[in-house]
């Protein structure tokens, strides 16, 4: 009975955590749909026509829209379809509700001034993207909590989970629209959870191949995680490797078959590495992605400095696991990869958007900091705790601003369009989060 009660308590805690984060997101975030404009129509096309083209929306398509492409007379989003695939259950449910319950549609129409016709997935995409994207990130937060709870007492696990959910771009970027980042973080966090569980239950290693492979269907830069984590499985879990690759192969085979049917190639143009190495300002980008006032990871989330301290404590205490080394390699190579993009600042966004996908790994090392902080010398511990609380408060305030302020998102366009004047990334006199 005691064990059963504990199980019920655990599930109630996870449900409460999910609902709290999701409600907090929905009560604060503003819609930022841009590149994700056609993600929900693509999901609707999958449901109703069993394809991914957008020809049924011809009356609202703009052939000059750089977010769509035309192949053999069929219009499609240029972006990966992984997020749309994951969104299909939600889109199906919303579409059914709007159709079967007219009062719900009327309720929404009365509250969306920009829509004076029947509300649909297509014209109401802005709000529906927020609803679905925030759900993905809230679920990711729950999975991250399970990772943290594996090493920390409840209070510390909740603290690290709060950092992940509300002191990073998970809140201000990934939850605000159906970018690739929310589903990508979910897949990578699930993978990390399964690999950690796999240290005591080898079956989990095999299952990790599923979300890890699908992370590539969602976002191509996750190839870095696939490469290093697959090597980890081969080297440290050789017996489970065949089953791991078998399950991953199911996902990848379907993905390649889809691309062959559409593009006549294993990969779509978006996946080809034409952007890699295209940045003549590579060294500037390396610094900019970490410390620039407009895109610096540690400027927007100074709390992540404690992830570095966590790494230092790991090595000092000789407590690093083999998986830790692979995660470090992934973070570094991801940093190198996104810095090699000519468009390294990530277009119209808030802060370090390209680092969203690494947040599960970065916050995992913050968990390791919290794991070792109690055994530090009392004087050092007090100083670090004070710094931790200060950085947490600053990070929270910054991402609250990014999640809820249109003025902060408008920074990209005024006074000069950032894509035409990337030098603005280094302007300390006009900070995006102070708009």
3-state secondary structure 257-321: HHHHHHHCCCCCHHHCCCCCCCCCCHHHHHHHHHHCCCCCHHHHCHHHHHHHHHHHHHHHCCCCC
Residue 406 structure tokens: 């249109």
Does residue 130 lie in a domain region?
no
Average pLDDT over residues 65-81: 92
Burial of 433 (0-12, 13-18, 19+ CB in 10 A): buried
In this predicted structure, what is the pLDDT of residue 5?
64
Does residue 234 lie in a domain region?
no
Average pLDDT over residues 251-261: 97
Distance CA 359, CA 357 (A): 6
Distance CA 241, CA 206 (A): 7
Half-sphere exposure of 297 (CA within 13 A, CB side): 23
Number of domains in the chain: 2
E strand or H helix that includes residue 138 = helix 125-149
Q: Crossing angle for the helix pair 2-28 and 154-166, nearest 10 degrees?
A: 20
How would residue 306 be classed by pLDDT, with cut points 50, 70 and 90? very high
Q: Which residues contact 414 (CB under 8 A, 6 or more apart)?
A: none
pLDDT over 90 at 338, yes or no: yes
In this predicted structure, what is the pLDDT of residue 274?
76
Does residue 115 lie in a domain region?
yes
pLDDT over 70 at 356, yes or no: yes
Q: Which residues contact 181 (CB under 8 A, 6 or more apart)?
A: 169, 173, 174, 219, 353, 356, 357
The answer to whether the peptide bond before residue 415 is cis (omega within 30 degrees of 0) is yes
In this predicted structure, what is the pLDDT of residue 180?
95
In this predicted structure, what is the pLDDT of residue 113?
65
For 71, the 3-state DSSP assignment is strand
In this predicted structure, what is the pLDDT of residue 370?
97
- Cβ–Cβ < 8 Å for 295, 425: yes
Q: Crossing angle for the helix pair 305-316 and 378-404, nearest 10 degrees?
A: 150
Half-sphere exposure of 143 (CA within 13 A, CB side): 24
pLDDT over 80 at 276, yes or no: no
In this predicted structure, what is the pLDDT of residue 8?
79
Does residue 297 lie in a domain region?
yes
Q: Of 81, 98, 123, which residue constitutes the final position of a domain?
A: 123
Q: Of 105, 123, 141, which residue constitutes the final position of a domain?
A: 123
pLDDT over 90 at 126, yes or no: no
- Helix %, strand %, coil % for the chain, to 5? 70, 0, 30
Does residue 361 lie in a domain region?
yes
In this predicted structure, what is the pLDDT of residue 333?
98
Does residue 180 lie in a domain region?
no
Q: Crossing angle for the helix pair 241-263 and 223-236, nearest 10 degrees?
A: 150
pLDDT over 80 at 7, yes or no: no
pLDDT over 60 at 407, yes or no: yes
Q: Where are the beta strands (DSSP E) in 36-93?
A: 68-71, 74-77
Query: Mean pLDDT for the chain?
Result: 93
How would residue 202 be classed by pLDDT, with cut points 50, 70 and 90? very high
Tokens 């972006």 locate to 79
Burial of 111 (0-12, 13-18, 19+ CB in 10 A): exposed
How would residue 1 be classed by pLDDT, with cut points 50, 70 and 90? very low
pLDDT over 80 at 111, yes or no: no
Of residues 64 and 200, the one with the higher pLDDT is 200
In this predicted structure, what is the pLDDT of residue 275?
72
Q: Of 93, 123, 153, which residue constitutes the final position of a domain?
A: 123
pLDDT over 80 at 414, yes or no: yes
DSSP string for 100-121: H-HHHHHHHHHH-TT--S---T
Does residue 237 lie in a domain region?
no
pLDDT over 80 at 313, yes or no: yes
Does residue 407 lie in a domain region?
yes
In this predicted structure, what is the pLDDT of residue 2?
57
CB atoms within 10 A of CB 400: 16
In this predicted structure, what is the pLDDT of residue 14?
97
Q: Report how far apart, in Å, the C-alpha atoms of 126 and of each of 152, 249, 361, 401 are.
A: 38, 35, 29, 19
In this predicted structure, what is the pLDDT of residue 3?
60
Q: Which domain holds residue 75?
A: 34-123
Burial of 282 (0-12, 13-18, 19+ CB in 10 A): middle
CB atoms within 10 A of CB 395: 23
Distance CA 106, CA 113 (A): 12
pLDDT over 90 at 117, yes or no: no
Distance CA 66, CA 35 (A): 9
CB atoms within 10 A of CB 54: 21
């Amino acid at each position: 009975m005691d064990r059963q009660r504990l199980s019920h308590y655990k599930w109630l805690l996870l449900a409460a955590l999910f609902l709290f984060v999701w409600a907090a997101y929905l009560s604060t975030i503003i819609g930022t749909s841009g590149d994700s404009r056609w993600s929900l129509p693509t999901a609707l096309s999958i449901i109703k026509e069993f394809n991914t083209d957008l020809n049924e929306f011809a009356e609202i398509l703009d052939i000059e829209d750089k977010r769509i492409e035309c192949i053999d007379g069929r219009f499609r989003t240029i972006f990966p379809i992984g997020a749309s695939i994951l969104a299909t259950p939600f889109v199906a449910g919303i579409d059914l509700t709007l159709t079967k319950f007219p009062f719900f549609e009327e309720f929404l129409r009365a509250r969306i001034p920009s829509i004076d016709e029947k509300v649909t997935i297509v014209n109401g995409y802005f709000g529906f993207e927020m609803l679905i994207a925030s759900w993905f990130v809230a679920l990711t937060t729950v999975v991250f909590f399970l990772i943290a709870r594996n090493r920390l007492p409840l209070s510390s696990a909740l603290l690290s989970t709060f950092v992940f959910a509300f002191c990073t771009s998970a809140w201000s970027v990934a939850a605000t629209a159906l970018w690739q980042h929310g589903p990508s973080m979910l897949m990578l966090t699930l993978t990390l959870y399964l690999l950690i569980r796999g240290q005591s239950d080898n079956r989990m290693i095999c299952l990790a191949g599923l979300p890890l492979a699908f992370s590539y269907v969602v976002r191509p830069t996750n190839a870095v995680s696939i490469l290093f984590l697959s090597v980890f499985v081969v080297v440290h879990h050789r017996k489970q490797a065949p089953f791991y690759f078998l399950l991953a192969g199911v996902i990848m085979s379907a993905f390649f078959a889809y691309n062959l049917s559409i593009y006549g190639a294993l990969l779509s143009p978006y996946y080809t590495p034409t952007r890699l190495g295209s940045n003549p300002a590579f060294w500037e980008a390396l610094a900019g992605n970490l410390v620039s006032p407009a895109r610096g990871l540690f400027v927007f989330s100074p709390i992540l400095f404690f992830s570095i301290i966590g790494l230092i404590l790991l090595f000092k205490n000789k407590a690093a696991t083999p998986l830790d080394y692979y995660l470090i390699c992934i973070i570094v190579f991801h940093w190198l990869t996104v810095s090699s993009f000519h468009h390294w600042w990530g277009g119209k966004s808030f802060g370090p958007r390209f680092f969203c996908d690494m947040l599960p790994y970065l916050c995992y090392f913050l968990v390791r900091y919290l794991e070792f902080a109690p055994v530090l010398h009392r004087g050092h511990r007090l100083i670090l705790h004070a710094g931790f609380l200060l950085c947490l408060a600053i990070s929270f305030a910054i991402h609250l601003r990014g999640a809820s302020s249109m003025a902060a998102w408008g920074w990209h366009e005024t006074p000069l369009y950032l894509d035409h004047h990337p030098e603005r990334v280094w302007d300390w006199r006009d900070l995006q989060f102070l708009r």
